[in-house]
Each structure stands twice: as structure tokens, then as C-alpha cells.
């Protein structure tokens, strides 16, 4: 049941990335290219996703616990520390070079572009490395 | 790095896709009680005891374009750079950065902002500024010839 629900949620997320255009690195890079070929579409992706999540979270939190797990496990940290800023900056640079963040990279895997395969391999290595820093 | 490919402004499709992403994030919270950060789910698929739903979620992400192709007859439009060393560096930076900064566009962006987390807001502003600066340098600055 958990696996089936997880798969359905991942599929929905992936279809959202595709329909929104965020699965296409060209569209992402054009969104980031404010002084050039600017395509503001991705602001609508972030807006639609965040507002939906804001409302839905508050409905979900009315339950004492999630449907398939014993408890909610939500990040509690509020401090702004150096790893947060350094990590976000490095992520931003990588995002600006390749046009992929992690979700769209996974969604692109089955299309098998050589750039995607290389990106996912080094991203996984980077995650393993970053967790040790 | 990547030749500039013009793309159409698609506010309605992008909004609709965004809402789907939001529904998925809400499902992950309602069912599993967790934030739907892709990097967190990816790392947790290896490190957490409860890994089945995380592996299944990633498989769902991977299956999405296949379902899209079965429904529409073609893969979604996509332009990926053929500069493999560049993509290797990009992937490494994205991996290290999101692991170190505890989140990506979904974890800090969608879920963190929806939780009204200051930490996530700072992360989002930071990666947006650095991403836009990177694109500016690569397309219009001294990196334009790379």
C-alpha cells in the first residue's frame, strides 16, 4: 500500500513537472535569464504548487497522524547557518549551468539524453558527498 | 553552455502543472507525514529504514514521461545540453549543494515556503539569485564564449 501510494504521488509530481514545462531545461534556463530570453512561466509553477501545498498542508494537519505512518515528521530548524547558505549557493550555480534541479532530472531519465545520464550520476555522487560535509 | 532555445510563455499550463505538484506534496504529507523534497526522498531511499515508499516515489517520477508518451504518442519537449563535462559539474554542484543546504526547489521551494519557514525562504532566495547570476554570466558575461 505504501509503495503503491508512493508511486502514485511520484507519478503525479512527474506529470506536474512535464505539464508545467519545468521538465525542460531550456524553459528553466530561460526563466533564469531575466535580462535575455526571459520566460516567466516557472513563476506560475512555483506559485501554483506553493499555494496548493499551503492550503493542503493545513487540511492534512487537522488529522492527528498521517494515513500510512505513525506520526508527522516535519523539519523544525529555523536557524540560518553557513551550510544552508553555501549549499543553496552551490545548488543555484549547478541549476544555472544545467537547467536541472533534482525532480526534473529524475523525470528526464527515461528519455535517456547523455547529458541527463551524466547529470544524475554526478548528482547522486554529490548528494552522498554533501551529506558527509 | 546550452544554445539559447526560445520557449513560449505558458502561464496556464505552468499553473496547472504547479497545482499537480502541490497535490503530490499534499499527498506525501497526508499519507506519509513528510515533506516532498526530492533530494530528501532520494537520500532517504538509501539511508532510511522506511525506504519502500521513497523508492516507489522516485520510480513514479521516472515513469511519468513514459505514461506521457503512451497517452500522447511522444515524449515531452526537452532540450538537454550535450556538454557532458558541463553537465557533470552541474550535477555534482546540485547534489552537494542540496545535500549540504538540506533541500532543493521542492523541499525548500514548494514545501518550505508552504510551511512559512524562514530558513527555506532564505535558501530559495539564495539559490534563485545564484542561478540567475550563473545564467547571466554564461549567456551575457565573460562565460558567453564557453
Which residues on chain A are in Cβ contact (under 8 Å) with B63? 7, 10-11, 14, 110
B-contacting residues of A 55-94, CB under 8 Å?
A: 56-57, 59-61, 63, 65-69, 71-75, 77-80, 83-94
Query: Which site among B36, B48, B64 would you substitute to test the A interface, given the most A Cβ atoms closer than 10 Å to its Cβ?
Result: B64
Under 8 Å between Cβ of B68 and B76: yes
B-contacting residues of A 32-51, CB under 8 Å?
A: 32-37, 39-42, 44-51
- CA dist A21 and A32 (Å) reads 14
Grouping H, G, I as helix, E, B as strand and the rest as coil, residue B123 is helix
Mean pLDDT, rounded, for A9-36: 96
Under 8 Å between Cβ of A89 and B130: yes
Ranges under pLDDT 70 in chain B: 1-2, 143-146
Query: Which site among A2, A4, A9 would you substitute to test the B interface, given the most B Cβ atoms closer than 10 Å to its Cβ?
Result: A9
Mean pLDDT, rounded, for A51-80: 95
Question: A54 and B112 in contact by Cβ < 8 A?
Answer: no
Q: Which segments of chain A are extended strands (E)?
A: none
Q: What local confidence, expressed as pLDDT, does residue B47 receive?
A: 85
pLDDT exceeds cutoff 70 at A14 = yes
Q: What local confidence, expressed as pLDDT, does residue B133 receive?
A: 97
Q: Which residues of B45-67 are buried (b: 16+ CB within 10 A; e: fewer)?
A: beeeeeebbbbbbbbbbbbbbee
User: What residue numbers bound the domain in which A48 lies?
Assistant: 2-130
Q: What are the grid coordinates assigned to B39, written together? A: 533530494
Q: Which residue in the set A47, A66, A88 is minimally distant from B126, CB to CB?
A: A88
Q: Quick one: CA torsion of A103, A108, A109, A111, rounded to 10 degrees?
A: 170
Which residues on chain A are in Cβ contact (under 8 Å) with B134? 32, 92-93, 95-97
Asked if A12 has any chain B CB less than 8 Å from its own CB, the reply is yes
pLDDT exceeds cutoff 90 at A57 = yes
A18 pLDDT band, cuts 50/70/90, is very high
SS (H, E, C) A80-110: CCHHHHHHHHHHHHHHHHHCCCHHHHHHHHH
Which residues on chain B are in Cβ contact (under 8 Å) with A78? 117-119
Asked if A130 has any chain B CB less than 8 Å from its own CB, the reply is yes
Give how far the C-alpha of residue B51 lies from the chain's centroid of Cα atoms, to the nearest Å. 20
Question: A100 and B99 in contact by Cβ < 8 A?
Answer: no
Domain count, chain A: 1
Q: What local confidence, expressed as pLDDT, does residue A123 receive?
A: 98
pLDDT exceeds cutoff 60 at A49 = yes
- CA dist A25 and A95 (Å) reads 9
Write down the mean pLDDT value for chain A.
96
- CA dist A7 and A15 (Å) reads 12
* CA dist list (Å): A46 to A41, A63, B70, B107, B123: 9, 26, 27, 12, 15
Assess: ipTM above 0.90.
Answer: yes
Residue with cell 524562514: B118
Amino acid at each position: 500500500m505504501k509503495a503503491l501510494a508512493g508511486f502514485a504521488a511520484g507519478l503525479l509530481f512527474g506529470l506536474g513537472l512535464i505539464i508545467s514545462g519545468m521538465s525542460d531545461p531550456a524553459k528553466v534556463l530561460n526563466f533564469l535569464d531575466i535580462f535575455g530570453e526571459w520566460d516567466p512561466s516557472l513563476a506560475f509553477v512555483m506559485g501554483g504548487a506553493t499555494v496548493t501545498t499551503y492550503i493542503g498542508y493545513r487540511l492534512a494537519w487537522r488529522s492527528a497522524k498521517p494515513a500510512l505512518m505513525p506520526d508527522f515528521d516535519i523539519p523544525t530548524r529555523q536557524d540560518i547557518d553557513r551550510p544552508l547558505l553555501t549549499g543553496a549557493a552551490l545548488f543555484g550555480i549547478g541549476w544555472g549551468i544545467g537547467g536541472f534541479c533534482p525532480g526534473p532530472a529524475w523525470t528526464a531519465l527515461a528519455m535517456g539524453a547523455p547529458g541527463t545520464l551524466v547529470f544524475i550520476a554526478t548528482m547522486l555522487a554529490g548528494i552522498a558527498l554533501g551529506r558527509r560535509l | 553552455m546550452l544554445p539559447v532555445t526560445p520557449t513560449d510563455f505558458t502561464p496556464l499550463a505552468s499553473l496547472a502543472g504547479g497545482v499537480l505538484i502541490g497535490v503530490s506534496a499534499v499527498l506525501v504529507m497526508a499519507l506519509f507525514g513528510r515533506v516532498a523534497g526530492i533530494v530528501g526522498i532520494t537520500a532517504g531511499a538509501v539511508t532510511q529504514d522506511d525506504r519502500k515508499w521513497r523508492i516507489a516515489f522516485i520510480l513514479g517520477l521516472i515513469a511519468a514521461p513514459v505514461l506521457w508518451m503512451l497517452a500522447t504518442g511522444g515524449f515531452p519537449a526537452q532540450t538537454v545540453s550535450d556538454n557532458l563535462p558541463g553537465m557533470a559539474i552541474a550535477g555534482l554542484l546540485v547534489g552537494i549543494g542540496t545535500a549540504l543546504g538540506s533541500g532543493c526547489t521542492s523541499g525548500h521551494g514548494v514545501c518550505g515556503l508552504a510551511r512559512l519557514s524562514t530558513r527555506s525562504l532564505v535558501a530559495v532566495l539564495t539559490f534563485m539569485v545564484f542561478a540567475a547570476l550563473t545564467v547571466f554570466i554564461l549567456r551575457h558575461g565573460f562565460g558567453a564564449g564557453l
